[in-house]
Structure 1
Amino acid sequence: MDIDSFLGIMGRMSVFVSLLLAFFLLTVKTQNKLANRLFAAYLLFFVIDNIGIFITEDFVKNNLNLEFFRWTTCALTIPVFYLYILSVCFADFRLKAKHLIHAIPFIVTNTVFVFRVYFLNDADKLQFYNHRSQMPEFYGFQLMLGFQIILYSIAVFLVLKKYKEIYQENYTNPRTSIFKWLFQISTVFFALYYLSIAKNVLRFTDFESLWIWANVIMQFLALIVTCWFVLKALNYPELFRGIDSKLQLARDILPRKNENTIEIKEEKSDVITTQISILKHYMIEKEPFLEPSLTIQELSNQIEIPVRDLSILINHHMDQHFFDFVNEYRIQKAMSILKNPSKRDLTVLEILYEVGFNSKSSFNTSFKKYTNLTPTAYRNAS
C-alpha cells in the first residue's frame, strides 16, 4: 500500500465518523438544538474539506468550478466553530443577521474567484488547478485562512474566559465540565489548525514528500480527535448546557473613577459590614448552600438583597467569587460531618451530596484547597 492509498483510507474513515456524528447531532432530541446543529455544520464543512484527499483527479478535472468552490468553504469552518462555542457557553445565544459578518471572507473569496477563476475557459481552469501553488489567488486565500485561524483562536479563548468568570461569580454547581471540555476541544482543534498552517507552508516549497507525510500525520490526528469527540459527547451529555450571557461581572457593575460623570461614592463601611454580617448569618442559619444548583439570583431572592448589590458585596467587598464563597460553607459543613463520630458510617460520596456537591472530583479539589487534606485523610486525622 502506497502513501496516497493510506492517506485516502484515513480520509474516508474521518469523513465516515464525522458524517455519523453529524447525523446523530441533527437527529437526537435535545433542548440545545442550536449548539448541536452548529457543530454538525462544522463537521459537514470538515467533511467537504476532507473529501479532497480521496476524490479522483478525473472527477475534479470534469468539475473544476465545484472543486474551486469546495476550497472556499474552508473559510466557513472556523467561524462556525466559534459560533458553536458561543452557543454552548451561553444558553441565551441566538443566531442573528449580524452573525453573517463571519461569512465575509467566504463571500470575498468567491467574489474574487468569480472574476479570476470561475469564468475561465476549461484549459485556463486546468492550468490554474495544476499550478495553484504558484497562483496569487490561491496564495492569498491560504494567507487569509492563516489570519482567520489566529483571530478566531483569540476570540474563542476570550469567550471561554468570559464564561468562566461569569460562572464563578453567579453559579455554585461545582460541575465545571462544560468549561473544561470547551477548553480542551478548543486547545486541541486550534493546535491542529496551527499545525495545518505549518503544513500548508510546505505546499509552497519543493519538499513535496514532506508535505505528503505532513498530510498523513494531520489526517491521523484529525481522525483521533473526531473519535475522541464522539466518545465525549456520548459519555457526557451535560456538556451542552449554558449560562446567561447577559449576566454582568462585578467589575463591570462598579462605577469607574475615570468616567466623565459624577463619581458614585462607595457605600459606607458600616452598611457594608452590616450586609456582610446578615449574609454570613443567613448562610449559617438557613444553609442555602445545600442546594447544588444555587445561583446568586436565587440567593438574592432569599436574602432580599438586589442581585447587583449582592454580586458587588461578595465579589468585590469580600473578594471572593460566588462559586468559592458558597463552596467554603459546603466544605465547612463537610468538615463537621467528617469529624462527627456518630456519622462515621457515612461515605465520602454520601457526604459530598449531603453538603451540596454533585461531583466527587470537584469536592476533593475544593476540600484539599481549603484544608490541604483529602476528605479521607481529614477524617482519619480527626
Structure 2
Amino acid sequence: MPFYLLAKTAYFRSFPFESPRMENYSILGNISLLAFFVTLLLNLYLLTVKGSRTLSNRLLAACFLLNAIDISVFFTYQFSNEHLVYNMIRSHLPYLGAPLIYLYVVSVCYANFRLRPIHLLHTIPFFLVILVVVPRFYLANDPTRADLLQHFNTSIEGRLIFAIGHLQTLGYSIAMFVTLYRYKKQFLENYADADSYSYKWLMQLTIITALAHLLGIIKGAFRLYGYVYTHYYIQIFVTLLFLGILCWIVLKVMYTPELFRGIDSRIPLVAELDTPPPSQASHIPATRTPAPHTSEPNSSAPSTPKEDPAITERIEFLRKHMEVTEPFLESAITIQQLAAQTKIPVRDLSLLINHHIGQHFFDFINEYRIRKAMSIFRDPSQKDLNIQEVFYQVGFNSKSSFNTAFRKQTGLTPTQYKNNSLSNS
C-alpha cells in the first residue's frame, strides 16, 4: 500500500540522537502503536479469510507486515538503538514494499497471475541498499557504525540510498499506472459488466501511492538538509495519514470482500492483433439479414462499414444473433461466452467488434441494452415498471451505469425519455 512509501525515508528518522527530543517520540509512539495493532488484526483477517484471492491477500499481508515492523521503531526506539544491526535491517524492509504492492495490483487485475522465480528480480533494490552500507556498517565495528549513523544524512551512503529509494518507487508507480491502463482496455474489449471489477478503487490506490511518494520525497529532503523539527512534524502528519489509509483499507475489505474481478492476462489488446485477411475468416452460416434498425434517431445500430463481403456477412450474422437471442440480457456476459454462442473464435470476434464495428465490447453490449430499455419505455403495457426494474431487466447492475450509458446513446435521462414516450403515445 502507499504506506510503504511513507516509510521509505526510515533511514532518516530512526536514530534518537537525530531527533528533536527523545520525549517527542511519545506522540509518534502512541499513534504508531495503534496502527501496529490495527495492521496485525487486518493481517490476521487477510491470512484466514476464505476465498479465491489467497495469493493477493498474502501479498497484501506481507506489505502490511513490513510496514508494521518498520513503524515499530517509534515505540521500540530504545531497543532499536541498542541493536544497530537490527535497526539497519529494519530500515531496509521498505525496499520490498514497492514490489509487493505492484505484484498485489497485478494479482488482483489478472486472475491467472502466479509467482515465478523471475519475480525475485524485484528484490534487487533491497539487496542493493544492503550492499551500499556493507563496507562501513555490516563489516565495521560498533564505533564506526555509530559514526556512520550519526552523519548518515550527509554521507554518500545516505544520499545514494535516498536516490535509489525514490527512483524505485517512481518506477513502480509508473508501472502500476501502465498495468491499470492496459487492464481497463482489456476489460472494456472483453467484458460487459463494468460494475464487476474495481478499476476505480485500484486507480485510487495507485494515485494515493504516487502522492505518498511525493510526500516521502519532501519529508526526506527536509531531513537530508537538516530541517530536523520540520521533518519531525511532517512525520507526525505522515503517521496519522498512514493510520487513516489503514482504516480506509479496513473498511474496503469489510464492506466489499469480493471487490475485485480478475481477467486473463493472456488476452491481447485488439491493437496488438493483426487483422486477418478476409479469406481467413471463420465460416459462419451464409444468412444475410439486415442490420437491426429502429425509427429512433439515436438508437439504430451503426451501419455496417463497407468492407469485404465476408466481414459484412459476419457483422450481419452477429447482429441477427444479438436481436434474436438477446445475450446482452445476461449482466455478466463476456466475449468468450458470446464467441461460444456464435461459433466465432474469440480472437476473430474481438477484432470484429473492436476493429470492424469500431466499438468496445462493453459499448457494443450496452447499445443493445439501451435499445431494449427504450422499447420497454415506449410500451404502454409496461408503463408501471420503474427505472430500477427496467435496468435490471435489460442487464445492468447499477442505476448510475445505466443512466450514463442511456444519456450517452440518447442524450436524455431514462426518466426524461420515458416521460416523453408516454406523453406521445
Please state which band the TM-score falls in when normalised by the shorter chain: over 0.9
Task: Indicate the residue corresponding to 2:363 in structure 1.
Answer: 324
The alpha carbon displacement at 1:241 in A equals 2.4
Residues 178 and 238 of structure 1 are in contact (CA less than 8 Å); yes or no, is this contact kept in structure 2? no
Q: Which residue of 2 aligns with 1:259?
A: none
CA contact (8 A) 1:174 1:357 kept: no
Out of 202, 206, 216, the position equivalent to 2:236 is 216
Alignment equivalent of 1:17, drawn from 22, 38, 59: 38
Aligned to 1:166: 186
Q: Does 2:356 match 1:336?
A: no
- Superposed, 1:26-105 pairs within 5 Å as 26-56=47-77, 58-105=78-125
Q: Give the TM-score of the pair, scaled to structure 1.
A: 0.93
Q: Which residue of 2 aligns with 1:308?
A: 347
RMSD between superposed Cα atoms in Å:
1.7
One-letter code of the match for 1:134? Answer: T
Tell me how far apart the structure 2 counterparts of residues 279 and 48 of structure 1 sit (CA, whole Å).
57
State how far apart, in whole Å, the 2-side matches of 1:206 and 1:111 are: 26
Counterpart contact for 1:89–1:242, Cα < 8 Å: yes
Deviation at 1:33, TM superposition (A): 0.3
CA distance in 2, matches of 1:266, 1:138: 62
Q: What is the distance in 2 between the residues matched to 1:276 and 1:106?
A: 53
Paired with 2:407 and 2:75, the residues of 1 have a C-alpha distance of 52
Residues 273-294 of structure 1: per-residue CA shift (max 9 Å, x gap): 1111111111011101111111
* Structural mapping, 1:260-279, within 5 Å: 265=277, 269-279=308-318
The equivalences for 1:191-230 within 5 A come to 191-230=211-250
Deviation at residue 341 of structure 1 after TM alignment:
1.9
> Which structure: larger Rg?
2
**Letter in structure 2 aligned against 1:25:** L
What is residue 293 of structure 1 aligned with on the other side? 332
In structure 2, the residue corresponding to 1:353 is in which secondary structure? helix
Whole-angstrom distance in 1 between the partners of 2:245 and 2:100: 18
- CA displacement at 1:335 relative to structure 2: 1.4
What amino acid is the match of 1:202?
F
Given candidates 242, 249, 256, the residue that maps to 2:269 is 249
Structure 1, 32-41 or 352-361: larger mean CA deviation? 352-361
Give the count of matched residue pairs.
373
Matched position secondary structure for 1:156: helix
- What letter is aligned with 2:340? N
Segments of structure 1 that go 5 or more residues without pairing to the other structure are 256-263
Give the C-alpha shift of residue 179 in structure 1: 0.6
Q: Aligned match of 1:280 in 300, 319, 341?
A: 319
Q: Secondary structure at the match of 2:232?
A: helix
Quote the sequence identity (%). Answer: 43
Find the residue that maps to 1:320 and give its secondary structure: coil
Q: Which amino acid counterpart does residue 276 of structure 1 have in structure 2?
A: I
Alpha-carbon deviations, 1:130-162, whole Å to 9, x = none? 222122212211110100111001100100011
Is the CA contact 1:170–1:323 (under 8 Å) kept in the aligned structure 2? yes
Corresponding residue for 2:390? 351
Aligned to 2:285: none
Residue 360, structure 1, aligned to residue 399, structure 2? yes
Q: CA deviation at 1:27?
A: 0.8
Q: Structure 1, residues 224-251: CA drift from partner, whole Å, max 9, x if none?
A: 1111111111111222321111111111
Could you tell which deviates more after superposition, 280-289 or 47-56? 47-56
TM-score (norm 2): 0.84
Please state how far the C-alpha of 1:116 moved relative to its aligned partner.
2.8
> Which structure 2 residue ranges, 5 or more long, are not aligned?
1-22, 280-306
- The answer (yes or no) to whether the contact 2:95–2:126 under 8 Å persists in 1 is yes
SS of equivalent to 1:237 = coil
Distance 1:15 1:266 in 2: 62
SS in 1 for 2:332: coil
Question: C-alpha distance in 1, partners of 2:218/2:169?
Answer: 12
The range that moved more, 44-53 or 226-235, is 44-53
SS in 1 for 2:259: helix
> What does residue 128 of structure 2 align with?
108
> Which aligned runs of 4 or more in structure 1 are off by greater than 6 angstroms?
none
1:129-168 equivalence runs, <5 A: 129-168=149-188
Indicate if the aligned counterparts of 1:25 and 1:36 stay in contact, CA closer than 8 A: yes
